[in-house]
Each structure stands twice: as structure tokens, then as C-alpha cells.
């Protein structure tokens, strides 16, 4: 946990602190401005505005690249240390208990990467983001569908079975909650940068508070878990005849655990594993 | 992977170019976007205003992530996409 988490989690995980779901954020001008900025510039905020990417790629000399790198570093410093975090299904259930009104909209990333408004995997969580999303029909294109807590839970469990990684997002500047995404590689801005660029852009999507651990004695090498990993952390070792897990890559989403028939995979708190406790 | 000041960026080994005069546009066609396994094509509205829906979407390519399978060239009904080796990499 970082200083930001300690401050806004008040001893708990930040997303389990009821204050971050408060309607008081609706009176906070800075939070509302930040939400509007997000709806106005979704592509830039998710790092997928092509002119930006192109510009970075066309830099020829090391000096130019270094200048770009320092401006990115400077920009990151001004934002809060994480925007989103991977959450396993058990924490999703806890979040839904705390959450206010919720609605699903077309996935923010898939619309940019697949020109599709059919995959409604983004679940906006009130108050601020749900209230202001209505004013941006371009953002709610494909429809906005209000859901009860039970419906959201059922939906999230469906996504879990399908193999989508659950992530929970917050406002760019404040701890006000934004909503759930259900992500996959490569059609997710956060996951593609995690996998394609390595960990230096990790402020955008932090790994879960957990990490998976395999009980190698129980593993039969059936390979079911391997097809579930969106972070390329699992491999089938032909020599060992078992699934092997690169815990440094593991984001702790728990998808592999959910299909293990032997119960060989469990999630343990990241802070209890010295090798990965500082890898977020 | 190239590494500069601790920032990792994939090496650009292939260039994907779209002939925008031939391209029908991502919302009317979008075959390349939907089929690309690496999802290197990106589309976004040219302008966004409060209370309005934008129908004019631009298309771009982030070809550092391209694996070079060539599927986009085959699925484009207008032959607007070309794939070539990158001249000089980052």
C-alpha cells in the first residue's frame, strides 16, 4: 500500500472505504471538473489518443526521447499514484455492497480499438461519474442501462466465467470512485500498456492487493488456468508437467484460481510475499 | 524492447499505413479494427461536444504493437492498408 492508499483507505483498502463513494463529491467543484475533463478527453486520459502516441514514436534522437520521458514523468507525478486497480471477484462483491447507483455503458476501450459499442462491460458507479456521464451522449453511445446491485453482481460473475479481468477505477485527481471495467488483452488500454510496455506505466493500473500462489503438489498440469491469464504470467512446463506461475507478472486477478478444479491456486495478500510486496 | 531512461518501448519493426482517401471510415466499415489480433488500430471522434454525438471518427495505427500477421491487408475491402518493414528502428 502506498501513502495515497493509507490516506484514502483509512486502514482499509481504498476501494473499501465508504467515504470514497460519498455524495459529497457532487459539491466539490474540482472533482466535477475532473469528471467533465474525462468525458471530454477520454482518449487522452486513457493514453490512447493516436496523435500523442505517434508523436512519441516519431522522436528520432535520444535527447528528444529523454525530453519526452521527463515530461511524461512530470505529468505522472501530478496525478494520484493510481487510477485503477485489479480486483478479484471477492472484492468486487464487497465493492458492490458499498456502491450507490450503477449503470453499464459500452466499453471505453473497445469502442476505440474495435469501433464497437456492443460490448457493455463498463459499469459506472455513482455518484459523480454516473451523474455527469448523462451529459455526454458520445460517452454513453450504445445506451446506458441502469442496474440493481444483484444485476451487477450477476453480470460481474458472468464476466468472470468469460475470462475478463475486473478492474476498479477512480477519478484522476480525487479518491471519488468511477466504476468497474472488465478487461482483456489487448483490447484494454491498461492491460495492453502493462504487457506491451512493461511496468513503468504502472500508475495507470495497479496490480491487485493479492497475488496468486500455486500449490505445486496439487497441480495436475491440466492447463485450464493458463488460458485464463491475461497478464502472460502462467506457462505450462512440459518438464514439470505443471503450470508454472511468474509471480512477478501476476496481477492477482484470481481468474486462474476460479477454474482450478484441484484447488491448487489461492490468492494471498501481496504484502505477505516478500518477492512481490513492492511490485504494484 | 529498447530501454531509455528506464522507460521501455517496443521496437517498431513494421509500418502499417492507411490510405485515407480509400478508407471508408471506422464506423461504416471497421473490419481492420475488429479483426486485428493485436488491436493496433485506434479510432476516435474528431471533435467532442457536450450533449452531442460525433459521427466523424478518425482512424490511426499504433504500429509499435503490430505483430505483422497481415490480416488487415486481407480484410480491407478497398485495399487501403499496406504493410512494410520499418526503415530504421527506434
Q: Does some domain include residue B67?
A: yes
In sign, the C-alpha dihedral spanning A224, A228, A229, A232 is positive
A79 vs B21, which has greater pLDDT? B21
Q: What is the pLDDT of residue A53?
A: 57
Selection from A201, A253, A251 nearest residue A82 by Cα: A201
Q: Above 80 in pLDDT, residue A76?
A: no
How far, in Å, are A183, A239, B71 from residue A188 at the CA level?
6, 33, 20
Question: In CATH, which of 3.30.70.20, 2.40.70.10, 3.40.50.2020, 3.30.360.10 is domain A210-272?
Answer: 3.30.70.20
**Do the Cβ atoms of A124 and A133 come closer than 8 Å?**
yes
pLDDT tens-digit profile of B11-35?
778 889 999 999 999 999 999 999 9
Between helices A89-98 and A149-162, what is the axis angle to 10°?
Answer: 160
Task: Please name the residues in contact with A158: beta carbons below 8 A apart, sequence gap of 6 or more.
Answer: none
Q: All 3 cell numbers of residue B43?
A: 479510432
> How much is the CA Rg of chain A, to the nearest whole Å?
19
DSSP for A200-252 reads TTTTSEEPPSEEEEE-TTT-----TGGGG-SSS-EEEETTTTEEEE-TTT---
Distance from CA of B75 to the nearest CA of A (A): 14
**Is residue B90 one of the residues assigned to a domain?**
no
Out of A2-6, A154-158, A170-174, the most confident range is A154-158
Is the Cβ–Cβ distance between B40 and B62 less than 8 Å?
Answer: yes
Mean pLDDT of A233-240: 96
Q: Name the closest residue on chain A to residue B90, using Cα atoms.
A: A60
The answer to whether the beta carbons of residues A270 and A208 sit under 8 Å apart is yes
Q: Which band of pLDDT confidence, cut at 50, 70 and 90, is reported for residue A60?
A: low
Best of B62, B66, B72, B88 to substitute, by most chain A Cβ atoms within 10 angstroms, is B62
Nearest Cα of chain A lies from the Cα of B79 at a distance, in angstroms, of 19
Residues A86-98 have a mean pLDDT of 96
Q: Report the C-alpha gap between A44 and A40 in whole angstroms.
A: 9
Res. B2 pLDDT band, cuts 50 70 90: very low
Is A153 strand, coil or helix? helix
d(CA A127, CA A129): 6
**Domain range annotation of chain A:** 3-42+80-206, 210-272
pLDDT at A27 over 90: yes
Asked if A196 is an interface residue toward chain B (Cβ–Cβ < 8 A), one would say yes
Pairwise pLDDT comparison (A54 vs A242), residue with the higher score: A242
Residues of B in contact with A113 (CB under 8 A): 33, 39, 41-43
Q: Which residues contact A163 (CB under 8 A, 6 or more apart)?
A: A184, A227, A228, A230, A255
- In this prediction the pTM is 0.90
Return the C-alpha cell found at A26: 457532487
Domain that holds residue B50: 2-85
Q: Do A62 and B4 touch (CB under 8 A)?
A: yes
- CATH number of B61's domain: 3.30.70.20
Is there a domain that residue B28 lies in? yes
A48 vs B: CB within 8 A: yes
pLDDT digits 0-9 by tens, B29-60: 999 999 999 999 999 888 888 888 988 898 98
Per residue in A117-132, pLDDT tens?
Answer: 999 999 999 789 999 9
Pairing between β-strand B57-61 and β-strand A242-245 as defined by DSSP bridges: unpaired
- B48/A136 CB distance under 8 A: yes
Q: Is B13 within a domain?
A: yes
H helix or E strand, kind and range, residue A107: none
Q: Which residue in the set B4, B41, B60 is minimally distant from A65, CB to CB?
A: B4
Interface mutation vs chain B, best among A112, A186, A203, A230, most B CBs within 10 Å? A112
Structurally, chain B folds into a number of domains equal to: 1
pLDDT of residue A172: 85
Q: Identify whether the C-beta of residue B67 lies closer than 8 Å to the C-beta of residue B56.
A: no
Which 10-69 residues of chain B touch chain A by CB within 8 A? 10, 12, 26-27, 30, 33-34, 37-39, 41-45, 48, 50-54, 57-58, 60-62, 64-65
- Tell me the CA distances in angstroms from B36 to A66, A229, A231, B55, one per residue in order: 31, 20, 19, 23
Amino acid at each position: 500500500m502506498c501513502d495515497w492508499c493509507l490516506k484514502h483507505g483509512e486502514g482499509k483498502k481504498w476501494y473499501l472505504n465508504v467515504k470514497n463513494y460519498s455524495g459529497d463529491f457532487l459539491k466539490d467543484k474540482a472533482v466535477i471538473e475532473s469528471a467533465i475533463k474525462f468525458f471530454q478527453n477520454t482518449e487522452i486520459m486513457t493514453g490512447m489518443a493516436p496523435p500523442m502516441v505517434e508523436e512519441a514514436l516519431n522522436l528520432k534522437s535520444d535527447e528528444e526521447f529523454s525530453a519526452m520521458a521527463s515530461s511524461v514523468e512530470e505529468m505522472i507525478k501530478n496525478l494520484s499514484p493510481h487510477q485503477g486497480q485489479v480486483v478479484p471477484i471477492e472484492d468486487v462483491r464487497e465493492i458492490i455492497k458499498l456502491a450507490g447507483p450503477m449503470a453499464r455503458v459500452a466499453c471505453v476501450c473497445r469502442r476505440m480499438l474495435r469501433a464497437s459499442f456492443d460490448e457493455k462491460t463498463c459499469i459506472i458507479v455513482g455518484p459523480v461519474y454516473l451523474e455527469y456521464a448523462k451529459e455526454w451522449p458520445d460517452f454513453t453511445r450504445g445506451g446506458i442501462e441502469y442496474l440493481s446491485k444483484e444485476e451487477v453482481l450477476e453480470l460481474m460473475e458472468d464476466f468472470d466465467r468469460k475470462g475478463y479481468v475486473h478492474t476498479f477505477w477512480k477519478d484522476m485527481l480525487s479518491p471519488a470512485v468511477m466504476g468497474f471495467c472488465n478487461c482483456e488483452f489487448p483490447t484494454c488500454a491498461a492491460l495492453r500498456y502493462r504487457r506491451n510496455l512493461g511496468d513503468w506505466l504502472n500508475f495507470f493500473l495497479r496490480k491487485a492487493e493479492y497475488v496468486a500462489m500455486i500449490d505445486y503438489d496439487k497441480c495436475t498440469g491440466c492447463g485450464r488456468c493458463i488460458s485464463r491469464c491475461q497478464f502472460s504470467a502462467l506457462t505450462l512446463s512440459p518438464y514439470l508437467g505443471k503450470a508454472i506461475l511468474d509471480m512477478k507478472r501476476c496481477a492477482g486477478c484470481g481468474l486462474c484460481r476460479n477454474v482450478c478444479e484441484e484447488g491448487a491456486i489461492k490468492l494471498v495478500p501481496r504484502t505477505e510475499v516478500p518477492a512481490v510486496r513492492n511490485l504494484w | 524492447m529498447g530501454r531509455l531512461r528506464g522507460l521501455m518501448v517496443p521496437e517498431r519493426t513494421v509500418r502499417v499505413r492507411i490510405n485515407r482517401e480509400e478508407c471508408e471510415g471506422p464506423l461504416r466499415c471497421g473490419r481492420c479494427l475488429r479483426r486485428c489480433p493485436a488491436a493496433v488500430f485506434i479510432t476516435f471522434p474528431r471533435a467532442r461536444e457536450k450533449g452531442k454525438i460525433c459521427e466523424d471518427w478518425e482512424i490511426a495505427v499504433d504500429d509499435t504493437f503490430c505483430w505483422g500477421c497481415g490480416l488487415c491487408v486481407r480484410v480491407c475491402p478497398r485495399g487501403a492498408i499496406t504493410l512494410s518493414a520499418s526503415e530504421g528502428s527506434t
